[in-house]
């Protein structure tokens, strides 16, 4: 079997998750981990997997079929996305929803120019939840849609806090408002503004001597991430963060309630939910499936940026169409 050879760019929670996910996919092979840090400070604990500084990436252009970009969306991917899409097929999990259209345009231009294929905003939201929002809307054109996340750790929001000057470490929990969920489940079809659906709880380790009030203000007013939410900021020690906030569970659901029939008197509900012990390991598993698909799309000459709306579902699996018809139809 010809394997898809992949590389990991950025060895954090998501990068480690990709390393684990590759081992569950016999048709995928990990060639190397690419990091901005000195290579002797990053230990991947896996025989045969090279650790390379990102400045030496060009040496691997002919050795890697798809590069999995595992950097943070707040500040890493806006730079690393275009940089790596010029050299490789890529898959990333870019999740700043407000900026996805602009990111898509830039990635599409770079990937097209270089004959590469780049899957962007892959994961669960954006990603599998996006797919299900679209599917539900296509099937039930007359209705109301809702997305709820948590209670769990948003990696994107946690990463965004960690990038603030004076922050040493941080975790952000997204907390759904139970009254909002109840109103949706009761079929009220409420109009729910962003603030009305979730609150955000942050646990922050400040650097020695950092201005905590300044950090709190930067978090609460951060556009796209916190500005539209009720957000609480708690300062804790590194030991408290490590002992009480090291797990990264998450999940949520997308739901659409729609009406059908001559008199629109049939109420139909579509719901897709996730319950994740590990947000990074699940997200990484989605990225690896898309690495398989992007490799095939590029071999077919389909270049440019792709979202979950552009990639055929059957390309995500190693199974043939005949196997799918036999086993899963
Ligand atoms: N679409 C979706 O559904 C989802 C998207 N995501 C996205 O994934 C992104 C990455 O999340 P996550 O992996 O948790 O972020 P991390 O903070 O763990 O890692 C981000 C980067 O920071 C660097 N880094 C990691 N650990 C260290 C360290 N100890 N010292 C110095 N640098 C370090 C790494 O780059 P380097 O090795 O180069 O130093 C890494 O790529 C999030 O920002 C989010 O946007 C996450 C979940 C779901
Ligand atoms: N992109 C999110 C995945 C989901 C979770 C989330 C949130 O809690 O706000 N939004 O989307 C992440 O980084 O974890």
Q: What CATH number is associated with residue 233?
A: 3.30.360.10
The residue nearest atom 34 of ligand 1, judged by CA position, is 10
Q: Do the Cβ atoms of 100 and 87 come closer than 8 Å?
A: no
Is the preceding omega at residue 42 within 30 degrees of 0, hence cis? Answer: no
**Which bin fits 156, alpha (ψ -120 to 50), beta or left (φ > 0)?**
alpha
Tell me which of 50, 130, 159 to substitute to probe ligand 1's pocket, judged by most ligand atoms within 8 Å of the beta carbon.
Answer: 159
Q: Do the Cβ atoms of 70 and 51 come closer than 8 Å?
A: no
Pocket lining: 280 vs ligand 1, CB cutoff 6 Å? yes
Same domain? For 137 and 92 the reply is no
Q: How far is the CA of 270 from the centre of ligand 2 (A)?
A: 21
Same domain? For 134 and 269 the reply is yes
CATH number at residue 321: 3.40.50.720
Cβ contacts of residue 45 below 8 Å, gap of 6+? none
Same domain? For 110 and 208 the reply is no
Same domain? For 106 and 143 the reply is no
Q: Quickly list H helices, the chain.
A: 13-22, 77-85, 100-113, 128-139, 155-162, 178-185, 212-220, 238-244, 279-299, 321-327
Proximal ligand: closest to the CA of 194: 2
Q: Do the Cβ atoms of 32 and 56 come closer than 8 Å?
A: no
Pocket lining: 81 vs ligand 1, CB cutoff 6 Å? no
Proximal ligand: closest to the CA of 173: 2
| Domain final position from 277, 296, 317 | 277
Count CB neighbours of 1 within 10 A.
6
Same domain? For 31 and 168 the reply is no
Q: Do the Cβ atoms of 254 and 271 come closer than 8 Å?
A: yes
Tell me which of 7, 12, 127 to substitute to probe ligand 1's pocket, judged by most ligand atoms within 8 Å of the beta carbon.
Answer: 12
The residue nearest atom 27 of ligand 1, judged by CA position, is 12
Pocket lining: 158 vs ligand 2, CB cutoff 6 Å? no
Q: How far is the CA of 241 from the centre of ligand 2 (A)?
A: 20
Pocket lining: 125 vs ligand 2, CB cutoff 6 Å? yes
Count CB neighbours of 56 within 10 A.
12
pLDDT score at 187? 82
Same domain? For 142 and 208 the reply is yes
**Residue 66, strand partner residues:** 6, 89
Q: How far is the CA of 302 from the centre of ligand 1 (A)?
A: 28
| Domain final position from 259, 277, 295 | 277
Same domain? For 249 and 269 the reply is yes
| Structural domain span for residue 154 | 128-277
Q: Do the Cβ atoms of 22 and 67 come closer than 8 Å?
A: no
| Domain final position from 234, 253, 277 | 277
The residue nearest atom 8 of ligand 2, judged by CA position, is 154
Q: How far is the CA of 154 from the centre of ligand 2 (A)?
A: 4
Same domain? For 269 and 138 the reply is yes
Overall domain count for the chain: 2
Pocket lining: 279 vs ligand 2, CB cutoff 6 Å? yes
For the chain, 329 residues long, give each residue's pLDDT as a single digit of tens.
Answer: 789 999 999 999 999 999 999 999 999 999 999 999 999 999 999 999 999 999 999 999 999 999 999 999 999 999 999 999 999 999 999 999 999 999 999 999 999 999 999 999 999 999 999 999 999 999 999 999 999 999 999 999 999 999 999 999 999 999 999 999 999 888 888 889 877 899 999 999 999 999 999 999 999 999 999 999 999 999 999 999 999 999 999 999 999 999 999 999 999 999 999 999 999 999 999 999 999 999 999 999 999 999 999 999 999 999 999 999 999 99
Same domain? For 202 and 111 the reply is no
Same domain? For 261 and 214 the reply is yes
SS3 for 33?
strand
Same domain? For 289 and 262 the reply is no
Count CB neighbours of 17 within 10 A.
26
pLDDT score at 185? 87
Same domain? For 254 and 134 the reply is yes
């Amino acid at each position: 079997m010809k394997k898809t050879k992949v590389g990991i760019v950025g060895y954090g929670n998501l990068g480690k998750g990709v390393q684990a996910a590759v081992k569950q996919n016999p048709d995928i092979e990990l060639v190397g981990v690419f990091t901005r840090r000195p290579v002797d400070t990053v230990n991947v604990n896996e025989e045969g997997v090279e650790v390379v500084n990102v400045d030496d990436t060009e040496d691997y252009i002919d050795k890697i079929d798809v590069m999995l970009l595992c950097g943070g969306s707040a500040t890493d991917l806006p730079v690393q996305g275009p940089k790596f899409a010029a050299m490789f097929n890529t898959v990333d999990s870019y999740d700043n929803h407000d900026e996805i259209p602009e990111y898509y345009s830039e990635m599409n231009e770079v990937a097209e120019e270089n004959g590469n294929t780049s899957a962007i905003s892959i994961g669960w939201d954006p990603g599998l939840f996006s797919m299900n929002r679209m599917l539900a809307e296509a099937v039930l054109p007359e209705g109301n849609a809702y997305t709820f996340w948590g209670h769990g750790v948003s990696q994107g929001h946690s990463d965004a806090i960690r990038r603030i000057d004076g922050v040493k470490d941080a975790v952000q929990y997204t907390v759904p408002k139970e009254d909002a969920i109840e109103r949706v489940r009761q079929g009220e079809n409420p109009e729910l503004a962003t603030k009305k659906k979730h609150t955000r709880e942050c646990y922050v380790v400040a650097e020695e001597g950092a201005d905590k009030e300044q950090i709190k203000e930067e978090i609460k007013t951060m556009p796209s991430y916190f500005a539209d939410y009720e957000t609480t900021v708690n300062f804790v020690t590194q030991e408290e963060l490590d002992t009480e906030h090291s797990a990264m569970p998450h999940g949520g659901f997308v739901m659409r309630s729609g009406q059908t029939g001559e008199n629109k008197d049939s109420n139909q509900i579509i719901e897709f939910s996730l319950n994740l012990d590990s947000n990074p390991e699940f997200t990484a598993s989605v990225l690896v499936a898309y690495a398989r698909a992007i490799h095939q799309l590029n071999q077919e000459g389909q270049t440019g940026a792709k979202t979950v709306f552009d990639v055929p579902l059957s390309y995500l699996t190693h199974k043939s169409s005949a196997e799918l018809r036999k086993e899963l139809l």
